[in-house]
Structure 1
Amino acid sequence: MTEEEFTEFYTHSVARLTGQIYLVTGDLHEAQDVVQEAFVKAWAHRSALVRDHAPEAWVRTTAGRLAVSRWRRAQSAARAWLRHGHPSTVAEPGPGHVDIAAALRTLPPRQRLCAALHYVCDLPLAQVARETGIAEGTVKAHLARARAALAPLLTATEESIDGLR
């Protein structure tokens, strides 16, 4: 099947296939997703589509299998939630954390990354250097510049300063 033939096949059958799969899934967006994914797979197998003489049936079958697979995955996830319970809720960030996040956003990207890893994640210099791929001496320089830039922004509250330690 040539690219033109495939495009024509797609154009003439995508709406019909989406409607058919919608009746199976009951969800238009899900139907559109699986039909599109099936067409992507069909493109990769277009030579087999010509041999079988039933390209629309192949796409419909593939889309149906994809929909069932997604449904099973969703059912498994729902059962896992029931077995293990919902994760504990995380407290909202306090004003100090919001101040820190806003202040960090004012830094250049490398300084921000080094400062966040070292001060917020509490990683040692050597590990920050390994994770960022930046030399340890350069990490130290970034941290010094970050401290100098952050100091005037974070002097407003003691909570903000404690958040950096």
Structure 2
Amino acid sequence: MTNPFGSPVRRDGQPVGPRTPSGVTAVLGGLVALALAGVLGYLPITDFVDYGISDLPDHTKISDALYFGAAILLLLGALMTFLRLLAGSVLLLAGGLATIAAVVAEPLLIHPYAFVEFFDRVFRFVPNAAFVRIGGIVGGPLVVLLAAQPSTFRYLRYRPPDAGYGPPYSGPARGW
């Protein structure tokens, strides 16, 4: 039922209050970011455990730092999104873009003249931990897409009206 102005009304004639925004995209983005943070954190941790930080070449250290930084941004963004903080969505956007940057920068740093061949081998699951790169290729844009939705920002910005706790105090007025 609507009033003459097109706004919805209840059966008793009172206007309908504002709807609470759906948190589907925010929660889904947080879950994808949490899983992607675990996947992206696998590569630098295994490199550091297997070879040690001092034995790695400089370009591998930079590549691992990019993956680890993206994982940290995604982890913090997911946790802040679950706490309904608007900064969580911004961190998810930054983490998704950092994920894309890490996946694209790795072949440029390590194999600068074999960019196409690197991704050809990744999609054939030939290199070690190819699932990390494929997770970044698929998950990074997905997190950016979910975090940039207007419904995500609407959900994180929404604060329910203060309902109060119990009936109002109706005791004697205190005169000072």
**Which TM class, normalised by the smaller chain length?**
under 0.3
| TM-score using structure 2 length | 0.26
| TM-score using structure 1 length | 0.27
Q: Tell me which protein shows more helix as a share of its residues.
A: 1
Whichever of the two has the greater Rg, that structure is: 1
